[in-house]
């Protein structure tokens, strides 16, 4: 048998009721939600009951999705399934850091709350938009971005999907340029232009926040969005850099497969990563675990 990677979902897949079934079914998952509530009152209530508009506010999304992600990973581990590697998409990377014991769950949760606040402030100050570009290559997307000011490829998701950050004013023109290149683009329902220079102030603030924090070596290798390689060197700089630079998801998945991973378990919210992994390599197994039925059906 090949190796297993847990992949932690990111912002955008949130929905009312996320994590509730695992909270009820798994003592390990419940413990994560209780931890979150002890630091940020009513986090679990927000996950379970808040409407999508409330959950989609960055200051709420990040702590809530983090909690649901980490709870799902702990529920899977409680079944005796342990990963050889972990990686997270954007926000999910912080949950991966916590699961790999680079930070305590409490410290990682506080970090993600701070991250959400800083990114929300940067988004309000530096208005931007994000577009999902499909059906053309990353190279074609890069070429289109080069023709516009303040327009950047920010999520390299799969061979035929790249997310772009741009100004609100440029968004429609970029969509038209993608259409002319025989691709398709659509605006994403997000509150800022993440993983781009629009977030530089948030990245600086996060690095300052981390200055007196302890980050340990991982007990399970964590792949970085910024490098698409395992965490090494200056861990705090990697956490900072991730906020203002592209997510190299396709390369991360390809590198994990090259290390022998043939089973990816998406822990947390939704099935976005499962879909992307299957588009990157149709030969590997990609499974999601976000509810009791998924957990009960999980066999490796």
Helix (H) or strand (E) holding 118: helix 105-125
Report the alpha-carbon distance of residue 257 to residue 131 in Å, rounded.
Answer: 28
Using DSSP's 3-state secondary structure scheme, residue 134 falls into: strand
Contact 105, 32 (CB under 8 A): yes
Q: Is 146 a catalytic residue?
A: no
Using DSSP's 3-state secondary structure scheme, residue 111 falls into: helix
Contact 11, 65 (CB under 8 A): yes
Cβ atoms within 10 Å, residue 109: 26
Spot the catalytic one: 90, 100, 196, 224.
90
Beta strands across the sheet bearing 129-134: 152-158, 161-166, 129-134, 184-187
Helix runs in 185-234, H state only: 200-210
Report the alpha-carbon distance of residue 63 to residue 68 in Å, rounded.
Answer: 9
Extended strands (E) in the chain: 3-8, 85-88, 129-134, 152-158, 161-166, 184-187, 222-223, 261-267, 285-289
Cβ atoms within 10 Å, residue 263: 18
Cα angle value 172/55/246 (rounded, 5°): 50
Using DSSP's 3-state secondary structure scheme, residue 130 falls into: strand
Spot the catalytic one: 26, 158, 195, 224.
195
Q: Is 26 a catalytic residue?
A: no
Q: What is the DSSP pairing of strand 129-134 with strand 184-187?
A: antiparallel
Query: Mind telling me the catalytic residues?
Result: 90, 195
């Amino acid at each position: 048998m090949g190796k297993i990677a847990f992949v932690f979902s990111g912002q955008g897949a949130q929905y009312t009721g996320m994590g509730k079934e695992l909270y009820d079914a798994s003592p390990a998952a419940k413990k994560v939600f209780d931890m979150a509530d002890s630091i940020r009152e009513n986090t679990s209530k927000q996950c379970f009951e808040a409407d999508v508009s409330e959950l989609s506010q960055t200051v709420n999304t990040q702590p809530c999705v983090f909690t649901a992600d980490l709870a799902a990973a702990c529920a899977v581990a409680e079944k005796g399934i342990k990963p050889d590697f972990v990686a997270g998409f954007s926000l999910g990377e912080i949950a991966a850091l916590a699961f790999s014991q680079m930070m305590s769950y409490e410290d990682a949760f506080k970090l993600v709350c701070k991250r959400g606040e800083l990114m929300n402030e940067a988004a309000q100050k530096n208005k931007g938009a994000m577009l999902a570009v499909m059906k053309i290559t990353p190279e074609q997307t890069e070429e289109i971005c080069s023709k516009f000011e303040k327009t950047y490829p920010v999520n390299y998701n799969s061979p035929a999907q790249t997310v772009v950050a741009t100004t609100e004013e440029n968004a429609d023109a970029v969509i038209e340029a993608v259409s002319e290149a025989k691709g398709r683009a659509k605006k994403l329902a997000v509150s800022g232009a993440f993983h781009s220079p629009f977030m530089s102030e948030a990245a600086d603030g996060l690095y300052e926040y981390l200055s007196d924090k302890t980050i340990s070596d991982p007990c399970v290798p964590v792949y970085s969005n910024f490098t698409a390689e395992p965490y090494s060197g200056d861990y705090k700089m990697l956490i900072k850099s991730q906020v203002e630079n592209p997510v190299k998801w396709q390369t991360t998945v390809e590198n994990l497969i090259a290390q022998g991973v043939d089973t990816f378990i998406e822990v947390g919210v939704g099935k976005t990563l499962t879909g992307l992994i299957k588009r990157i390599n149709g030969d590997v197994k990609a499974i999601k675990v976000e509810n009791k039925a998924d957990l009960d059906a999980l066999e490796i």
